[in-house]
Structure 1
């Protein structure tokens, strides 16, 4: 199972809010918080084939460009699934993740899974929960991240196998 993780500049380890203008980019490794997810993926014969990243301000000013480049690269790399996040309770990153996931859904056959916390993102989740797979994760520093990472990996496996995700969504996603 080949997974691409999409992160903001903070979660990819490229800087804090002062680096929100970080241009889109990617590396063929697990970067930042993708490293933790990769450990869980390996137990399911999965791997992070790349980490794509983009600063949240850069994204807001170049959303169409970022969406197009990320989807084209994921298709070129033959990703089985794309994970956006975990975004925790960061609203700018959560918005970016949902918008990019929607672009994946409408312009590619590559399934996308968003992982976000409800704190500071309730309206966003309400807007996207019907059309996207949004896995519940704790806010930054909250408890339950280990379980959430396992749920993300389970979602990746189901999505890459094109399996029915109804029960999964009922248990682990926002409804």
Structure 2
């Protein structure tokens, strides 16, 4: 399974809130939190083929451009599944993640899963949970990260295999 993960500048390891103007980009490696996800993917003969990133303010200022670019690049790289997040309890990134998931759902055949914490993000979860897969994730520094990341990998495998997501969504998603 070939996975692309989309992160903000913080989760990609490119700086804090002061770097919210980081332009979109990507690398064919796991960056930041994606390294933790990749360790679990490798155990299942899967890999992260790219980390796409963008500062949250840059995204807000260039939304259409970023959405189009991320979608086209994921299709060009022939990803089997895309992960938007984990956003933890960062509301700006959660909003970005929700919009990216919605855009992929409407404009691409590549399945996508978001991962976010309920803290500070309930409005985003409520807005997108009915039509998009949003995995439960702890807040930054919260307990349960290892289990949530394992669930994320299972969800990716199910999505890539076009499996019925009903039970998975009931057990691990909002």
TM-score over 0.5 for the pair: yes
> Match for residue 64 of structure 1?
64
> Match for residue 172 of structure 1?
172
By how many angstroms is 1:123 displaced?
1.1
By how many angstroms is 1:43 displaced?
1.5
Query: 2:122, 2:84 → 1: CA distance?
Result: 17
> Match for residue 43 of structure 1?
43
> Match for residue 110 of structure 2?
110
Q: Deviations over 1:58-93 (max 9, x none)?
A: 000011100000000000000000001110000000
**1:139 pairs with 2:134:** no
1:73-112 correspondence runs (5 A): 73-112=73-112
Unaligned runs of 5+ in 1: none
> TM-score of the superposition, structure 1-length normalised?
0.99
Query: 1:20, 1:151 → 2: CA distance?
Result: 29
Query: 2:107, 2:44 → 1: CA distance?
Result: 27
Provide the alpha-carbon RMSD of the alignment.
0.4
> Match for residue 23 of structure 2?
23
> Match for residue 123 of structure 1?
123
Deviating 4+ runs (over 2 angstroms): none
Q: Deviations over 1:105-124 (max 9, x none)?
A: 10000001000000000111
